[in-house]
């Protein structure tokens, strides 16, 4: 249970970092 929660948090964090990176790149390209 705790291990799956850890994986979920890690994946969510990575997803947020990726989305933030894409957001920054799109904003700078305009």
**How much is the pLDDT for 3?**
86
Measured CA to CA, the distance from residue 6 to residue 1 in angstroms comes to: 9
pLDDT, residue 16, reads 97
Residue 28's pLDDT is what? 80
pTM higher than the cut 0.85: no
Per-residue pLDDT tens over the stretch 1-30: 688 999 999 999 999 999 999 999 999 876
Report the 3 state secondary structure along the chain.
CHHHHHHHHHHHHHHHHHHHHHHHHHHHHC
């Amino acid at each position: 249970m705790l291990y799956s929660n850890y994986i979920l948090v890690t994946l969510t964090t990575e997803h947020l970092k990726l989305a933030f990176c894409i957001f920054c790149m799109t904003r700078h390209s305009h």
